[in-house]
Each structure stands twice: as C-alpha cells, then as structure tokens.
Chains A and B, each alone.
Chain A
Amino acid sequence: MEKIDCNKIQRILDIKNDFENETINSTIILPEYIECINTIYDTELKNQDEEINKIKLNIDKLYDNMQEIIDKLKNKEQ
C-alpha cells in the first residue's frame, strides 16, 4: 500500500489555502497539486451538501415543533 506523505498533504492544503485567500494564483501550482486540490474540493462540497441537508431536515422538524406549540396554544385558549 502506498505510504501517505503527510508533508505533501500539508503542502497541498497550504497551497489550497493560499489559493483561496488569493495570495497565489493557479499558474504557479503544479498540475498534480491542482488535481489533488480539486479532489479535496469534491469532498468538501459533498460534506457541505450533507450538512445543508441535515440542517434542512432539522428546520423541517423545528417547523413541526412550532406547529405543535401553536396547536397547544390554541387548545389552551379554548
């Protein structure tokens, strides 16, 4: 199994960070690094998607919850 090169990974993350902060542009990033960064982006976007979906579900539950409270209040008033 291929050995994981922690230094390389850290370097890629640093480059990605610099790219996001616009302290470097793509012309000076090695092609192989660009591929790696894109892969990282894929994972990040996927994770973000999952997180958004979770929050959406939670919001739905909160709405249900709110509806329950409204119902209770209505009953109470009656």
Chain B
Amino acid sequence: MNEKIEKIVIQCIKLEHTELTYMQVENVLKEIIGYNLGDNIEYYIDESGLDGRSVEFNLIDISNKEYIYEIIINKKKINDRLNDIITILDVNEYNHQKIKFIFELLYEVILACFEYNKSQNLLQIDSELIEKLNETYIEKYYAIEKTKEIMIKISTNIENDTNKILAYLEQLDVIYEMLLDYEGSKEVLKNKKDMTNMYEKFKKNNENIDEFLYRIGNIVGVKTSNIDNSRNGSESKAILQDLQLEELIDYIKQYAQISICDYNKDLKEIQNEAQKVYNKVEDEISSLLNCDNSCDKTPLFVENILSSKREDLINLEKIDPEQSVYDYLVENYPEVTNILSSKMDVLQFLDKIDNLPTDIEDYLKNEFLSEYKNFIEEIRNVGTLKQEELEKELNLFEEKYTYGIYYKYLNMTKKEKAEIATFADKEIKENLILFLNIKKELANISTTENIPYLYLFNYLSKREKNILSDNINIISILRSSLKDTSCINKYFNSYDVSKAFSLISNNEIEELYSMQKNIMGIFTKTSQFIQKLYNEDIIKCGMSILDILNFRDKDEIDNLFSMPKYINIVEILLGIGLYELYINRDIELNNFKRIYVNGCDESIETIIQIIKYNDLKYKLLEYNLKQKSALKNIKVKIPDILGINTVVRKIDDYNTKLLYINKDRKEIQERKLMAYKQREEMILNKINFVRQKNKI
C-alpha cells in the first residue's frame, strides 16, 4: 500500500491516440488530483515517450498525499471535475479517445484512493461516475469493465455495515441494468455470487431486511422480466418479498440455471453434451457393477474409465474439476470404493508417519503395513482376474501414465527427481503401487513381460519401495529373466530392459553379476539392437547405452567399444553427450570427456572426429526439441508435477540456440548455393564458347 501511495503511476497513456499534448495530460492529472499541487507532480517521459507514445506521472511529495486523497474524495464531485477537465482539454464535442483517457486516469486514482481510504464516500463517487458513464454512453464496454473492477474491489473490502451494503446493492442495481443492456443476462449471472455474498453479510446484521429484499428483488426482477414476459419486474418484487430469505437464494440459483439454458444456446448444448457423457459413464459403471461376475473388473479398471470420461466432462466445462474421481465414486458407488478407501486411508496415514518418533513410526508402520497387505490380498483375491482383462487394464495405465512419467522423468534434474519422492503426484503413486502389485499377478503368467515396467519403480519413495518389496521381488524377476536365454534374446535387446537395469541399485546389480556371467552377452545383443535402430531413433538407443555404462567398469566398456562397428555406438554416445551438454549449457569438450570418464581415450577422440564431419548435433537438437514439444502437450493432459515448468523454460533456451544455429546454417547454405550457381554458369559459358568456336 505504501508503495501505491508513494507512487501513483499512471502509465501507458497513449498520447498518439488521444491527440493530447503532454501539457494537456499534465493539466488533466492536476485537475483530477487538485488545483494546488504545484510541483508535487512530476512526469517522466521514457524513451518511447519521445516519439509520443507514453508518459508516466509520479506524485513525489509524500507529505501532501493525505491531502491529495482528501481532495479527491471529499472536495470535488466527479461530475464537476469531468466538466472542468473537458474545459481544459478545450473539447467542444465528446471525443471517444479523450474521454476514455480521462476515465482511465479517474479509475486509477479512485482505485488507489480506495486502497488508501475505504471511505463510504467512494461508493458515492463510484455511483456518480457510473451515472456519468451511462449518460455519456461513451466506450460503454470499457466503462463497464472498469466499473466491474471497482465493484469487485469494493465488494471484497466492504465491512458488515448495513448502510454500506445497501449502498452497494443500489449500485449493483445500476450496474446490472447496464450489463443487461450491454451483454445480456449471461454476464449478469456471473455476478450472482455478489448477491449471495451480500446476503450472507446482511443476514448477520439482520437489519433492514425489507430494504434488502427490495433491492435484491429489483435486481432479480429486472432479469426475470427479460426471461419471461408474463412476469414483469414488479410481480417479481412482490414474489420475492413474500419469500423467506432462504428461499430467495434458492430462487436466485434456480433462476441462474434457467437463464443459462434459455439465454445461451451454446451453454445449453454443452449441458446436453455433458449430460450424455454423464449418462454414458453411469451406464458403463452400472454394467460393470451388474455383470455376472463383477470380480472380473477391478476398481482400478473402473477408476480408469471414470478418469478418462471425466476428462471429457472437464473439457465440456460442466463438471467441477475440484471433484475427484474418488469423491465421485464414494458418492455414487460405495460398493466399489470400499476397497479404495482402505487403500487411501493407509497411504494417507503412511504419509504422515515421517513426522512421528521412530518407535511409534515402526509400530504404526507394522500396523498399517498389515492393513495394506490386506488390501493387496483383497486385490489378489479378486482371484478370477483374467489375463486379457489385466492386460487391458495395463494398457489403460500405460496410456495414461507411462508416456507422461517417462518423458517427465527424463527431463528432470536430480533435485526434482528427489523431490518427487516427497512431493509426489499422489494419484500417480497410488496407481503405481496398485499397478505394480497387479503386475505381481502377471508375474505368474509371464515373468519377462514385467521388466519393461520396472522403471516405474523409480517413482516410488523409499518407504513405498519397502512396502512393495514385500510383495514384489524385482530381483527375482530379473534373475529369472537372466536365466532364460530365450528371454534374453527376446527382451534384453530392448531399451526398456536397459532402463530397468539403470534403476535398480548397485547392490542389486552386484547380485545379478554374481549370479550370472552373461552380462557381456547382453551388451552384445543390446549393441546390435542399437545399431539396427540407430537410424531410427538415435537418442533412445544412446540413452540405453548410457544407462548401461553408468554402472559398468572400464574393462567392460572397453570391450563394448572394441566390438565391430563400434564407431556407431560412439557416435550415439556423442549424441547423448551433446544432449546432456545442451541440457547443462556446457559444450566444452573437456567436460564432454569428464562425463564419459569411463570411456577410453581413443573412443573419445573418435567422437571428436565425428563431430567435425557431420551435422549430428543439428539432428540431435531437433530431436531434443521434438521431445520437449511433447512435454508441452503433456503439461495440459496430466497434472503438472515438479519440473515441467523448468523444462518448458528450457525449451525456450533451446529454441533460441536453434535460432542462431539456423541462421548460421542458412548463411552456409546460401554460400553453397551461390558457389554451385557460379559453377553451373561457368560450365554453361564454357560449353557455349566451345559450341560457337567450333560451330556445333
């Protein structure tokens, strides 16, 4: 507030549009604030102001501020002031731009004054201003918008003073009429909250109820007369006065609904659409619940359906986004949510455990862990889960989460990754836990199918991992996979498997090493796979190798590099190197070496040679941008979690870098083009010369 008092800055006055001189503007401002300010006003003309664009005014004398506000509030009426200003401007007829400019100044000052002194007189000034606006009928839309701003300020600051509320309602009357005239009832209804808020305040004082009813009735009456010709304003008033206060609010609400349907065709259509979707969801759920063996459908499945439908509904803007699917289920399908609620309770409680003393924590952990286990048991006891149903479920899960999680995760900093564990998107975590446990069921059917999903495991907090480890043994899955040669052939060439490897701990890796000496075999197969895919998706493959390299020793890496066609792998690493380097905004080769400290010198030198002879970095950058653009889309599709905004900011940095690169490329291309053209011309000249000379 002090800042506001010290500096009422009125800016962006478009002098070129108002055709006012600086002197006129200064005079107008002085006129608004008071006659005797003298040197207390200072105005600045910034650089753009030199060519007549904008000017800033600043009240510089702090000691006079109270005086200034008193002048504005009490001494002069706005109407008088307007006339004075118009005289100063020497305007014989109303000029839209000039009047708009004056209002701009007036509103700025009034708003600043209001914050300084919440005087009731402001209501009066505001009211006069509104009347003036109505009278001049100039820039009405603008005036209404500004008036609304003032009204909002006033309504949020108004105290529980009956007279003030009544004064406010009186103005509402005027404004609503203006709005009705200008925008129709749709916009008016957006302000219906004003009335109900006022009513709540009014009820507390319990005074002048009749007056209140009269005002409200008047407002509603104006609107109802627009809806239904048979019911005019006075009838409405009579009706309202007969109503009980509680009924009045219902009436207003009911009116709002009718009005939306009747007065806005689009809204009506949306409502119908929404209703259809609602009905469809209802039918689907009912059919799920009433099918012969409801156990075939798990809660997650139902929840997923609801989630996807909910998105449709939200898109149609007819469902409250605050209402969670869970709430919806609880409200409508208690039988489905029995299981969910126990899960939610346990998880919520576990979240709080961090703050408890260790011994109590342990006790509770055990207590609730057992409850959690029961929940898992319940899921498992669903029993007749058919494989295809489960897979359908998994597909749903994948569609909804995997894509988003995967890309988000790739682009997060270490800090952000760490924060996920504590911050977390609960919905994702809960589903993940549920999902991984269901995967356990799948493990009995097809062990290797599990592996591609293991990277999701990294999304869980340590506590959650511990909980899960009782139910799902990742190592055992990996171990069984490694034992099975055909499985390795089939799956261990895949990126997902490598990713899964990168997410298990070093100890787990050691365990796998000791168990199985087939790691190099996996490398070989992975590298072949990478070479095959190299042209299709360089980053993806490169990341895969990088993941592996992260936990391999030097000998193994040397072996890897010594494989036939290793140059391709190096090239891929180069790609990843650039990828990482761009992220870190660090393109020095020394750092590049540092990142690949495990790589042998020869390989690094090869990398450096390659970078000089191809445009890999451009390809990479382009890929990088594509990947990040996908993130922008994700941002709107699933709830934002930490990191996305940072990444999106980075996109801008990358785009800027690309801009310079593109500029360089274009210049090089142009030179190339010129050189080719010259060559073409030279050859042509030569041919013509020979032809002429020899008469061919």
Contact = CB atoms under 8 A, between A and B. Distances in A.
Interface stretch (B125-133, B224-232, B667-675): B667-675
B659 A51 contact: no
B381 interface: no
A19 B663 contact: yes
Interface string A34-67: 1101100110110011011001101100110110
B680 interface: yes
A31 B655 contact: yes
B665 A45 contact: yes
Nearest to A26: B656
A67 to B, nearest CB: 10
A69 interface: yes
A59 B655 contact: no
Contacts of B662: 37-38, 41-42, 45
A62 B682 CA distance: 10
A63 B666 contact: no
Given A51-B673, A59-B676, A41 B663 contact: yes
Contact of A55 (B659, B676, B690): B676
A72 interface: yes
Nearest to A22: B663
B61 to A, nearest CB: 36
B669 A48 contact: yes
Contacts of A2: none
A5 interface: no
A59 B678 CA distance: 11
Contacts of A51: 673
Given A65-B687, A73-B694, 16 more contacts: A19-B659, A31-B655, A37-B659, A41-B665, A48-B673, A49-B669, A55-B677, A56-B676, A59-B679, A62-B687, A63-B683, A66-B683, A69-B690, A72-B696, A73-B690, A76-B694
A69 B687 contact: yes
12 contacts: A31-B652, A38-B659, A41-B662, A41-B665, A45-B665, A52-B676, A55-B673, A55-B676, A62-B687, A69-B694, A69-B696, A73-B696
Interface in B231-262: none
B670 A20 contact: no
A41 B656 CA distance: 13
B691 interface: yes
B538 to A, nearest CB: 19
When A and B form their complex, which 10 residue pairs have the shortest distance between CB atoms, in order from nearest?
A41-B662, A31-B652, A55-B676, A48-B669, A62-B683, A34-B655, A26-B656, A38-B658, A59-B680, A34-B659
Interface residues on A, range: 20 to 34
Interface of B: 652, 655-656, 658-660, 662-663, 665-666, 669-670, 672-673, 676-677, 679-680, 683-684, 686-687, 690-691, 694, 696
Contacts of B669: 45, 48-49, 52
B687 A55 contact: no
Contacts of B676: 52, 55-56, 59
A62 B659 contact: no
B656 A66 contact: no
A44 B658 CA distance: 14
A35 B655 CA distance: 6
Contact of B686 (A31, A48, A66): A66
B691 to A, nearest CB: 7
Contacts of A44: 666
B656 to A, nearest CB: 5
Contacts of B666: 20, 41, 44-45, 48
Contacts of A38: 655, 658-659, 662
Considering residues B676, B677, B686, which has the most beta carbons from chain A within 10 angstroms of its beta carbon? B676
Contacts of B652: 31, 34
A37 B657 CA distance: 12
Contacts of B670: 48
Contacts of A29: 659
B691 A26 contact: no
B684 A62 contact: yes
Contacts of A37: 659, 662
Contact of B660 (A26, A52, A56): A26
A75 to B, nearest CB: 11
Given A38-B658, A69-B696, A52 B672 contact: yes
Contacts of A48: 666, 669-670, 673
A35 B659 CA distance: 8
B346 to A, nearest CB: 44
A69 B683 CA distance: 13
A69 to B, nearest CB: 6
B445 to A, nearest CB: 47
Nearest to A30: B652
Contacts of A19: 659, 663
B673 A20 contact: no
A70 to B, nearest CB: 8
A5 B652 CA distance: 23
B579 to A, nearest CB: 18
A13 B683 CA distance: 36
Contacts of A26: 656, 659-660
Nearest to B629: A35
A52 B696 contact: no
B669 to A, nearest CB: 4
A51 B658 CA distance: 23
A34 B655 CA distance: 7
A31 B666 CA distance: 20
Contacts of B683: 59, 62-63, 66
A35 B662 CA distance: 12
A14 to B, nearest CB: 15
